[in-house]
C-alpha cells in the first residue's frame, strides 16, 4: 500500500476478524511492516 502520509494505522482490514489497531511510522528510506498481518506501507513519491 502506498501513502503520502508518514503515520499509518493498520487494523488487519477484516472487520471483526482483524487485529488491534497499531500505528506505524513510515520514513522516506524504508517501509513500515505491520507486526500482526505483515501489510507493507511505503511513502508515495511527490509527483
Residue 16 dihedral angles phi and psi, to the nearest 5°: -75, -15
Look up residue 37 and give its three cell numbers: 498481518
- Could you give all domains of the chain from N- to C-terminal order, each with its CATH number? 2-43 (2.60.260)
Look up residue 9 and give its three cell numbers: 494505522
pLDDT digits (tens, 9 = 90+) for 2-47: 555 688 999 988 777 889 999 999 877 788 999 999 999 988 766 5
Neighbour order of strands in the sheet with 32-33: 2-3, 40-43, 32-33
| pLDDT of the residue at 14 | 75
Q: 0.85 cut: is pTM over it?
A: no
| pLDDT of the residue at 9 | 92
Amino acid at each position: 500500500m502506498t501513502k503520502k502520509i508518514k503515520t499509518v494505522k493498520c487494523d488487519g482490514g477484516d472487520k471483526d476478524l482483524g487485529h488491534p489497531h497499531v500505528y506505524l511510522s513510515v520514513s522516506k528510506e524504508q517501509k513500515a511492516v505491520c507486526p500482526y498481518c505483515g501489510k507493507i506501507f511505503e511513502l508515495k513519491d511527490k509527483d
